[in-house]
Structures are given as structure tokens and as C-alpha cells.
């Protein structure tokens, strides 16, 4: 679309009383400290705040723990099929959030019985992943990655380790080789699709991801193996190749970028917080606590777009119109003062919303597999490089400029070189 579409969206947003004072979620000064944004919105608007997406497209950001739980638990009011959105006439063809909201025939956008059918196939395919074997494979991948930089005494862990490990583990589970040019291209394209930097083309990157997964499905249809892709293709539900392609993209994307940020955010916590630093060197009993605290305070998926109102309703004192878009503020909900009135987050509590909630939550046992990958990555690194420290001051670390994903731009470290 032309700029006229964006301009009309801006005019519509400005003229809508419900969106008076709406805060843009693009180009935010809060991108390094989004918690400040959530507190500000909560003070001014309550648990449901009017916001503007890229191009001044109006939406609602759901900030409250109870409200996010309500939205995700009531599919009859807040559904996943984005074709309901009332703003499509204002969305340009190159809109940067299109990979997130453009309707795809994948499990992410299905509803009702069709969603249960598709999600059931994924669940059963993942249930057959042996967690002990996965841990062993992740340990082997971690060892190879660490060996590639252990002799230098320094590394940038975001690119050399945290991003590479979960992607290699995910593609190996799905039956792809975990090394090679194709895999690296897939890693790069998934990053661009989920968290594009300036100059990236997320729509084109998403297209390349689809082409590579189509090739994988074709290969496994001809020669199945003991992997997630083959189990999905052979499931009695009889998914088509295109359905398997779309659902595999969802599985791999969920396994890679969020898990990579979970690993890196946990390493940052362990290396900068004295509560953990005192314990990490002596048995690493605090790794599990650090992983869980990150899910509460620095969850990799900060905000998720979204749900679309099926009919006019109310939420958090707001009038929600049929076709409105609701963004799930997972990070804001996890730190909602209504559930933590004394401002003390109970890191041992696992009731966070980082894997969402309801029928469209991250399908079981995906969170358990992600935990195996992340925990193995962190523990193996600390075992192999026990004197690991940051090579910059903690305040010099910067977050990627995204309101959607929470991850560092880089995690530079140094350590005693290890002779191979």
C-alpha cells in the first residue's frame, strides 16, 4: 500500500477516543528498559493500554496478569485467526510485523477443533523426543561450539554460542543436519523474521525459511527417519505437506530465537548478579533458579501479537470492539504489582506466563525441551570455562532494539584459554 494507508491509520487512531494518548510501540526510547514503559502505561491506563504499532496502527497492550490469563483462556472472545482484524485495509505490503500477523495456514492461527488436531500432532511428535538423548546431543553441540573458541580466551557468546546451540539442536530434532551453510542461512533468516534489525527484510527472510522447510518435508516424505518431521508426516491425523511445513516453521522458530535469548539472558544474570556469582562456581546449584528468574524478569518473548476480538466486549475497564487487535504483554504481566504487591518476584515460582497460557500456549512438552536445551547450554559452558567473566562492564551491555523480543546485542566474555 501507499503512504495514504498509513496516513489514514494515523488519522483513525488519533480520532478514536479509546486510543487518545496511545503510545507507539515502535522507535521507543524504552527499548533498553521496557519495564519503565509498562509501569508508565499501567499508571496512566491501567491493565489494558491503547498503543500504536508500526505505522500508527491502533491496538491494545494487555499488561495485567489476570487480564492476559483471561484473554488467553477465552478463545470464544479473543481468537487467533488474524483475518478478523479490522485494520487490514491500512496495512502496507511491506509492514515489518507482517510475519507475525499475516494469516498463515499454521497451527498458530487455527482455532477450535482444527487447532486441537494440529497441536495434537506437534505434541505427540515432541513427546517422542527422548529428553536424555536431547541433553546428550546438546552437550555434544555445546562442547563443539566451546572448543571452537576455548583456546582464544575470549568470545562473543551471543553469536558464537547462544544463538547457534538451540538452532542446531532444533534442526537435529527435526531431521536436518545441524551444521552447514543451509543451517546457518536458516538461523540468520529466522532471526531476521523474528527480530529484524535496520536494513533487514523480514518478509523475504520468512519466505526463505519456508522454502528450506518445504525441502526438508519433501526429503522426509521420501525417506522418513526417527525425527519430529517424519513423525508429523506419519501421524494418523493426516496433515498435508503444507500444513507440516507451516507447523514446523512455528516449532523451529519457537525453539531457536526465544531459547537463544533465554540462554544469553541467564548467562548475563549469572555473570552480573552477586546473588548467583557466589554460588555458580561451587556446583552451579543456582542455574535452575537463574533460568526461572529470567522467565519472570527478562522473558525472551516480551510481547506477543496477538489475539483478535470476536465481538464487542470489555476487558480491564476498556471497551474492546470486534476486530480489535490485542497484544499480550507477557513481560508486563509477569511483573504485575497485583501479583507481586511487595515488588519481590518469587523466582522459585513457575506460574509465569512466558510460555503463554490456555489452548494456544506453547504446546507440551516444548517448554520442557527448551529447558533441557537452555540448562545444558549454561551448565556446559560454566563447567568448561569455570573462570568465565564479562569482558565489559555490565552497564555496557545493550539490548536489541525490540519491544517484542528481549535479548542482548552481544555478550562478550573472557576466560583462561583452554589448550585443546
Q: Which sign does the torsion angle of CA 97, 101, 103, 107 carry?
A: positive
Contact assessment for residue 105 and residue 222, using Cβ atoms and an 8 Å cutoff: no
Residue pLDDT, tens place only, 276-301: 765 555 544 488 989 999 999 999 99
User: What's the pLDDT score for residue 280?
Assistant: 52
Residue pLDDT, tens place only, 301-321: 999 999 999 999 999 999 999
134 pLDDT more than 60: yes
User: What's the pLDDT score for residue 345?
Assistant: 64
- Determine the length of the chain: 420
DSSP 62: E
Distances (CA, A) of 155 to 262, 289, 374, 416, 417: 18, 25, 19, 11, 11
User: What's the pLDDT score for residue 274?
Assistant: 83
Contact assessment for residue 401 and residue 289, using Cβ atoms and an 8 Å cutoff: no
Architecture of domain 3-414: Orthogonal Bundle (1.10)
User: What's the pLDDT score for residue 12?
Assistant: 46
1 pLDDT more than 60: no
Lowest mean pLDDT among 64-78, 114-128, 187-201, 389-403: 187-201
- Percentage of residues in the chain having pLDDT higher than 70: 90
Higher-confidence residue: 46 or 400? 46
User: What's the pLDDT score for residue 187?
Assistant: 75
Amino acid at each position: 500500500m501507499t503512504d495514504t494507508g498509513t496516513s489514514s491509520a494515523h488519522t483513525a487512531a488519533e480520532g478514536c477516543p479509546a486510543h487518545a494518548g496511545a503510545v507507539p510501540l515502535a522507535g521507543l526510547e524504552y527499548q533498553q528498559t521496557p519495564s519503565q514503559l509498562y509501569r508508565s502505561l499501567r499508571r496512566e491506563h491501567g491493565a489494558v493500554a491503547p498503543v500504536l504499532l508500526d505505522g500508527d496502527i491502533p491496538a491494545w497492550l494487555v499488561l495485567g496478569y489476570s487480564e492476559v490469563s483471561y484473554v488467553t483462556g477465552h478463545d470464544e472472545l479473543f481468537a487467533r485467526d488474524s483475518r478478523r482484524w479490522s485494520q487490514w485495509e491500512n496495512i502496507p505490503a511491506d509492514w515489518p510485523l507482517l510475519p507475525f500477523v499475516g494469516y498463515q495456514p499454521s497451527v498458530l492461527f487455527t482455532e477450535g477443533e482444527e487447532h486441537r488436531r494440529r497441536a495434537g500432532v506437534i505434541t505427540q511428535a515432541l513427546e517422542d523426543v527422548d529428553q536424555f538423548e536431547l541433553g546428550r546431543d546438546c552437550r555434544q553441540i555445546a562442547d563443539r561450539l566451546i572448543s571452537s573458541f576455548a583456546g582464544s580466551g575470549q568470545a562473543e557468546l551471543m553469536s558464537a554460542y547462544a544463538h547457534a546451540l538451540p538452532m542446531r539442536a532444533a534442526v537435529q530434532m527435526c531431521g536436518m543436519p545441524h551444521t552447514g551453510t543451509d543451517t546457518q542461512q536458516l538461523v540468520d533468516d529466522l532471526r531476521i523474521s523474528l527480530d529484524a534489525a535496520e536494513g533487514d527484510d523480514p518478509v523475504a527472510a520468512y519466505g526463505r525459511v519456508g522454502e528450506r522447510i518445504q525441502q526438508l518435508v519433501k526429503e522426509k516424505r521420501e525417506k522418513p527417519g526417527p525425527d519430529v518431521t517424519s513423525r508429523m508426516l506419519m501421524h494418523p491425523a493426516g496433515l498435508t505437506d503444507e500444513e507440516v511445513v507451516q507447523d514446523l516453521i512455528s516449532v523451529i522458530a519457537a525453539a531457536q530465537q526465544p531459547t537463544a535469548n533465554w540462554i544469553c539472558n541467564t548467562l548475563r544474570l549469572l555473570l552480573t548478579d552477586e546473588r548467583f556469582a557466589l554460588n555458580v562456581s561451587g556446583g552451579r546449584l543456582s542455574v535452575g533458579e537463574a533460568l526461572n528468574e529470567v522467565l519472570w524478569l527478562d522473558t525472551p518473548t516480551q510481547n506477543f501479537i496477538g489475539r483478535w476480538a470476536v465481538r464487542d466486549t470489555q476487558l480491564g475497564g476498556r471497551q474492546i470492539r470486534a476486530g480489535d487487535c490485542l497484544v499480550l504483554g507477557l513481560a508486563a504481566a509477569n511483573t504485575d504489582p497485583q501479583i507481586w504487591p511487595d515488588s519481590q518476584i518469587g523466582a522459585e515460582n513457575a506460574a509465569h506466563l512466558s510460555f503463554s497460557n490456555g489452548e494456544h500456549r506453547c504446546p507440551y512438552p516444548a517448554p520442557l525441551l527448551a529447558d533441557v536445551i537452555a540448562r545444558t547450554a549454561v551448565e556446559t559452558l560454566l563447567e568448561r570455562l569455570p573462570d568465565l567473566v564479562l569482558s565489559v562492564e555490565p552497564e555496557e551491555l545493550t539490548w536489541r532494539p525490540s519491544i517484542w523480543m528481549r535479548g542482548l546485542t552481544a555478550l562478550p566474555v573472557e576466560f583462561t584459554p583452554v589448550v585443546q
